[in-house]
Structure 1
Amino acid sequence: MSIVDLALIAIGSLASQVALARGTGWRRRGALALVTTLGPLAVALAMGRPWPRAMATSIDATPLRRTGLVRVGSESCRSCHPSEHASWGRSFHRTMTQRATLDEGGKRGTLLGPIPSGPVARGGGEVSLARSLEGVVWREAGKTDRRVVLTTGSHHYQAYWAEGARPGELSILPLVYLLADRRYVPRQAVFLTPEDDPPEELAWSASCIQCHAVAGEPHRGEFGERFDTSVAELGIACEACHGPGAAHVDKHRNPITRALAHASKTRDETIVNPKRLPPRERSLVCAQCHSLFVPKDEPRFWETGVATTTPERPFETRDLLTLATMRGSLKGRVDATPENFFWADGTIRVGGREANGLFESPCFEKGQGERTMSCSSCHAMHKGEPDDQLAPERRGDLMCTGCHGGVAARLEAHTHHAPASSGSRCVSCHMPKTTFALLGAIRSHRIESPSVTRAAESGRLPACNLCHLDRDLAWTHDAMRRWGSKENAPDKVQGRASAIAWLLAGDAAKRALAAAQFGDGEARAASGDAWMAPILATALTDPYAAVRYVAARSLQSLVPFSNVRYDFVGAGPARAAAQEVVLQRFQEARGGAKVPLEQRARVLLTPEGTVDEPRLRAFAATRDDRAVRISSRLAPA
């Protein structure tokens, strides 16, 4: 090896050390890029090996499972807790992270999508998933196959992780499988991200390991050159919520001890049972994952992760991110702007972080004793349906009327809606769908009463206007004043139907949320839907793929437009052509004639029922095109 070769290796090593010394993880976008580029590149040049597969994976990228010291794994729970084990087995928690396997010998594999017969995406060449002797591999033209090791998700879509450039590293693949659509699409298309952003580079051991496995430990090398990752178990399993189980298993091997424990009402100190925790601690168990946070101690995270032996005390190893802390004490800890995660009033607007909303809800903040609202006030991990895990005995208004019984006794007087209507459901008014995730709108978990003033100040529509899509804030203000509200009308609420304004002129998050509401059955019943097609059609050419997807789904749920051919990730001219088809079909079918005359102006139709194109274009011309990034993680590692 020549002196030049040695110098190249030294440069690569120095680049790694400098990058990591100056900041890692959530704070520096380029730090690990230097580690993964300059370091291996220098070695590759010196050793005469091809790039980018120069650093052959010498450590199996499959996370090593380590149990026995304090954690024992979910199988150890089955014999004493068969019902709970079975209900967990049916949950999407269990299948959140799995080893990637194919169907074999009549046994269903974990790969939910079929192996494609050809390329599934394009970008820098043809790419696809393929079958090999190693199982599933990621194939790119002109590059070495990479083994697909893990899958993430099994509910709405599934993502995939393949061997990365560094030994032991797992890197996200640039495609996902949409279960409802039965197709592969570019991964960026399912998040709210600008299409001209470069593909997201994400390492499993730097991000998803925090929540999608039990006791994940990245064990990154000293210079970031490798991962020797370990987990107690893949997926969200028993010990994620109940804490380490070894001491509990040892104690209860004796059948007499087990019998006494079942009869006892005291807390078993060898295990965490969320049901026996105070309400606030009960919710903190869920907040381990369902809150927005960063590791409190980054160097510790890169070694042993954020897991603790006390799941009810997650913020011993995590810092909670709020709008205030992202602008204050934790400013600079996250490579993202607060506006991507929060509305202007601090309400979380990204899904999966429901604890942030709960923590700011009066039912949580002002609750006393067992009357304090917690996650388990509505959800049950071992009784609810896997889709939403709502407790069967708490569905509908029952999740609220246990504490607010007086409201139930005078329901119509309280809601000003017919008792059987959606307007009388507690969640319709107090938990509007102002959170985006999973290509749809999710209910806000910041429980509050509708307020026009708050809506005008925060930019977050009140529940009224997310159901009455054709009405503006002035109408909402007048209705609430008639019902006894003392709020004064804020400025600039006149003249526009707010949901329409969101869809045509809002930022990408508002456009996606509005598009989802246009497909909501309750909103359609309140607003009528004969007028919706032209407005939804404008979103078929939206610059954000996720907005286009949601708008197309809502549009195609309208019977006259159910057979419109449209591909949200197809070519731009084809998307524009589909938009023209919708507008032409609406005009030819005289769709506007079915819209009540008094409603037409509000929904951008002429008195004759045709599309008011000048007003529609004027709305669209004011669209908020500031970049919005609501993705699956806080920042790259």
Structure 2
Amino acid sequence: MMPRLRRHCSTAQARAARHFLALCLLLVSSVGSGQAEQPPALALDPVGYAPAESCIGCHTGQAQTWEGSDHQRAMARASPDSVLGDFADVRFDKAGVQARFFRKGDGYFVNTEGADGKPADFQVLYSFGHYPLQQYLVAFPGGRLQALTIAWDSRPKQAGGQRWFSLYPGQHFAPSDPLHWTGRYQNWNAMCADCHSTNLQKHYDDKTDSFASTWHEQNVGCQACHGPGQAHVDWARQAPPGQSPASSRDMGLAVDFKALGSRGLVEQCAYCHSRRQGLGNGQQPGQGLLASALPASLRADLYHADGQIDGEVYEYASFAQSRMYAAGVGCTDCHDPHSTRVKVEGNGLCLQCHNPTPPARFPGLRVKDYDSPAHHHHQTSSAGAQCVGCHMPSKTYMVVDPRRDHSLRIPRPDLADKTASPDACTACHRDKEPQWAARAIEGWFGQPQRPRHYGEAFNAARSQGAEALPLLRKVLEDMGQPAVVRASAAAQLLPFGPPALPSLSQALDDPSALVRAYAASAFAEELPVRRVERLLPLLDDPDLAVRDEALRALAGIPSTALPEPRRAAFKAQLADYERRLRGNADLPGNRLNLAVFLEREGRQLEALEEYRQALRMDPYFSPARVNLATLANSLLRQDEAERTLRDGLALADQPATDHGNLAYMLALLLVEHGRAEEGLPWLEQAAMVMPGDSRIRYNQGLLLLRLARPDEARAALEAGLAQSPADGDLLYALAYLHAIAGRRDQAREYLRQLEHSAPGDTRLAGMKQELDRP
């Protein structure tokens, strides 16, 4: 039997289509469908929040400490007190980006290219942040605030600051590009708002693509961390003098930090200090993080394989990997919660605990003088003698903003080759190799016996190594690993399909809600009976993020597959989930989630329109383009499917992998509709763009064979085999090609290789019989 052409898409696209994993940073709040357009403003209904000034009378010291902090200056009305940039008729002109910053009366203005491509004057309404850079916000129709991509460098002049600079140096985006300052990815409401203001309610209307956003405090005030405070203010006014309340609850406080403990405290900070997918219900003060958001896994676009920071991920998932987090250290052990600064500068911060007389709170700490050359093996007071230099290396974001990795890891240059990750040692010793650093550490401390690092499993998965599946299983099943690491292993097991299901099935009962959430998506393609059996209990999970992931996987299931008593509740959960998806559909990835949900529910025409809307928001957003083309083709709208793919291929500056995947899909579409000769050049283009993908060469070889071009077919298949020597489909196809050409010895040789790499392959017996016939 001749092998069959097989469709394929990238891992990221498969996850988008089957597991609803959005690829963008998703920041969400409550739904406000149908509300009139209005600029962001103070909420009219306080819903338990007290006026911002209510805390100052009793908490003067904390208020004074908060004044001038990152939180206090997170956002402010543009005024001489808040604006740091030079608006004295200053011009900026670099890489085709032009702007003039000037004053007009009491207002602050910028003249620059608008959404129509023409220069115009725009009034700056708000300053955004303050150090080491400050951005500026401009009001647009639809209740939008847009952030200028020319920012003010507020560092001292001797440090390179006191200048205007582009957040995208050397780049100029057309007004149609979502990265243009008027575009989707510079929109305050969707991207930034709920972490720069207190109780921000986004109120997005997906039908009109507009906002009616509100806040209770324009910046990050007391109630952003302590929760709505009116009940506490009322208690303070009525409490008898000298009375000691029994608990925070007795005082009307929504968040009881003592009761939460260190991990609960970290999760209160994590809503803003994490890369995460919001659940559409805003921050939930006093509750765990998974009541309001699903933290991102340690995926390839955000983290190095060993868990070090790469993309802009903030602190939570890094810190959650650390031994300090496991030991009960919280954010306020190092940071003053009101000033947001570290409690002690320099090594003194770490020496609070890491010293010859460690605190009784952490009995596992070694008694040792850490601040000495005997430990750090560097000259005293040098950069190498600083704790953070080795244990918290930094990466610079937004051009001027260095941020430290909070995983607080021991430097492991010995892992550099095994995980394809950087190491702290050669980040300073740039003229050296990681092996040099590894030998130096071994010379200082000996060769410790360490268990295999999870980074090796994650790197194997990223490089599609054959050993990835068993390694990921071990990480997932290792209860000694941090929950975020095990959840990331679950996420990376999803593309392996049925072979990974036994481990993922066990993970559905895991004590960690994060692991349960990431395991649930694996069952989205299972038969209805199996899906219900495994996922129905998760609909009662205490964490909303877990319930949502179970709902995603159960979407589209016939109601008759559910026990009759559960059907009404399930329907209500689906309705609530869709409501939150719609209130969150303001970014392409969010809109993709809505579209996939609708498609799974059998509402294909609605899904088509949502995929189109995602591409209107961002024409470069490949997962929506892939899904739109696939769905359109399945609905016999071949012209739209082909046009969608060709439009994507015509985009300039597209990532190579996206271009390759679209070319591959177009080739298969053309072949499917009897236009094989047209498809061949696109297959070749896809193979050239993605040389590591042997599946393209497999399909190319089969197509050439069908077109009676055996020599070209063999060349394509052999090229694929050179990339993946154990690929069973390629080996079988080459055996078949040689067999039909009468070259039985060569065919048998490929069969022997197939039997060695896949001894249980069901095609072996039939081919052997064919070759043994006289």
Q: Normalised by the size of structure 2, how large is the TM-score?
A: 0.47
* 1:69–1:28 Cα change, 3 Å: closer
Which residue of the other structure, out of 346, 349, 362, is the alignment partner of 1:395? 349
Distance 1:191 1:358 in 2: 33
Match of 1:293 in 2: 276
Match of 2:203 in 1: 219
Distance 1:359 1:210 in 2: 22
Contact 2:335/2:341 (<8 A) preserved: no
Match of 1:580 in 2: none
Match of 1:153 in 2: 129
Check if 1:320 corresponds to 2:298.
no
Match of 1:473 in 2: 434
- Judge which range, 113-122 or 240-249, deviates more: 113-122
Which residue of the other structure, out of 218, 228, 232, is the alignment partner of 2:212? 228
Check if 1:245 corresponds to 2:199.
no
User: What secondary structure does 1:400 align onto?
Assistant: coil
C-alpha displacement of 1:359: 0.5
Could you tell me which runs of 5 or more consecutive residues in structure 2 were left unpaired when the two chains were aligned: 1-19, 26-35, 156-160, 453-653, 658-774
Distance 2:296 2:283 in 1: 18
Match of 2:42 in 1: 64
C-alpha displacement of 1:279: 0.6
Per-residue deviation, residues 587-622 of structure 1 (Å, max 9, x unmatched): xxxxxxxxxxxxxxxxxxxxxxxxxxxxxxxxxxxx
Q: Based on CA coordinates, which of the two structures has the bigger radius of gyration?
A: 2
Which residue of the other structure, out of 377, 393, 403, is the alignment partner of 1:442? 403
User: What secondary structure does 2:389 align onto?
Assistant: helix
Contact 1:190/1:438 (<8 A) preserved: no
Contact 2:371/2:385 (<8 A) preserved: no
Check if 1:346 corresponds to 2:307.
yes
C-alpha displacement of 1:281: 0.5
Distance 1:156 1:207 in 2: 20
Contact 2:88/2:101 (<8 A) preserved: yes
User: What secondary structure does 1:252 align onto?
Assistant: helix
Per-residue deviation, residues 288-328 of structure 1 (Å, max 9, x unmatched): 111110112xxxx3xxx622233x5232121110125xxxx
C-alpha displacement of 1:379: 1.2
Distance 2:311 2:393 in 1: 14
Match of 1:376 in 2: 332
C-alpha displacement of 1:145: 3.4
Counterpart AA for 1:445? H
Match of 2:263 in 1: 280
Counterpart AA for 2:255? V
* 1:251–1:85 Cα change, 3 Å: same
User: What secondary structure does 1:234 align onto?
Assistant: coil
Structure holding more helix per residue: 2
Per-residue deviation, residues 238-262 of structure 1 (Å, max 9, x unmatched): 111111111111111135266424x
Counterpart AA for 2:207? F
Q: CA RMSD in A?
A: 4.0
Check if 1:111 corresponds to 2:70.
no
Task: Note the 1:203-602 alignment, pairs <5 A.
Answer: 203-256=187-240, 259-261=243-245, 268=251, 270-274=253-257, 277-296=260-279, 301=280, 306-310=282-286, 312-324=287-299, 338-339=300-301, 341-351=302-312, 353-365=314-326, 367=327, 372-382=328-338, 388=342, 390=344, 395-401=349-355, 402=358, 403=362, 404-408=365-369, 412-417=373-378, 423-434=384-395, 436=397, 439-483=400-444, 484-486=446-448
Contact 1:119/1:127 (<8 A) preserved: yes
* 1:119–1:293 Cα change, 3 Å: same
Per-residue deviation, residues 325-366 of structure 1 (Å, max 9, x unmatched): xxxxxxxxxxxxx42x2112233324561111110112223x
* 1:187–1:478 Cα change, 3 Å: closer
Match of 1:199 in 2: 180
Distance 2:366 2:374 in 1: 14
C-alpha displacement of 1:67: 5.8
Contact 1:481/1:487 (<8 A) preserved: no
C-alpha displacement of 1:173: 1.8
Contact 1:151/1:158 (<8 A) preserved: yes
* 1:236–1:155 Cα change, 3 Å: same
Distance 2:145 2:102 in 1: 18
Distance 2:345 2:397 in 1: 23
Check if 1:170 corresponds to 2:131.
no
C-alpha displacement of 1:461: 3.0
Match of 1:184 in 2: 164
C-alpha displacement of 1:208: 0.7
Contact 2:413/2:423 (<8 A) preserved: yes
Per-residue deviation, residues 209-237 of structure 1 (Å, max 9, x unmatched): 12111111111234134221101111211
Match of 1:330 in 2: none
Counterpart AA for 2:367? G
Counterpart AA for 1:287? A
Counterpart AA for 1:131? R
C-alpha displacement of 1:207: 1.3
C-alpha displacement of 1:162: 0.8
Count of aligned pairs: 405
- Judge which range, 118-127 or 179-188, deviates more: 118-127
Contact 2:275/2:296 (<8 A) preserved: yes
Distance 1:344 1:278 in 2: 30
Counterpart AA for 2:145? L
State the identity %. 24
Which residue of the other structure, out of 137, 146, 149, is the alignment partner of 2:109? 137
Match of 1:84 in 2: 62
Distance 1:318 1:418 in 2: 44
Per-residue deviation, residues 97-121 of structure 1 (Å, max 9, x unmatched): 11122x3xxxx3x221121425324
* 1:191–1:363 Cα change, 3 Å: farther
Contact 1:111/1:151 (<8 A) preserved: yes
Distance 1:387 1:380 in 2: 6
User: What secondary structure does 1:188 align onto?
Assistant: coil
Distance 1:191 1:378 in 2: 38
Q: Normalised by the size of structure 1, how large is the TM-score?
A: 0.56
Contact 2:276/2:295 (<8 A) preserved: yes
Could you tell me which runs of 5 or more consecutive residues in structure 1 were left unpaired when the two chains were aligned: 1-23, 30-57, 325-337, 491-624, 629-637
Counterpart AA for 2:267? L
Contact 1:348/1:435 (<8 A) preserved: no
C-alpha displacement of 1:148: 1.9
Counterpart AA for 2:180? P
Per-residue deviation, residues 120-179 of structure 1 (Å, max 9, x unmatched): 246778533333357223334755533322221111111111122x33211122311111
Distance 1:459 1:139 in 2: 45
Contact 2:124/2:136 (<8 A) preserved: yes
Distance 2:171 2:447 in 1: 38
Contact 2:142/2:211 (<8 A) preserved: yes
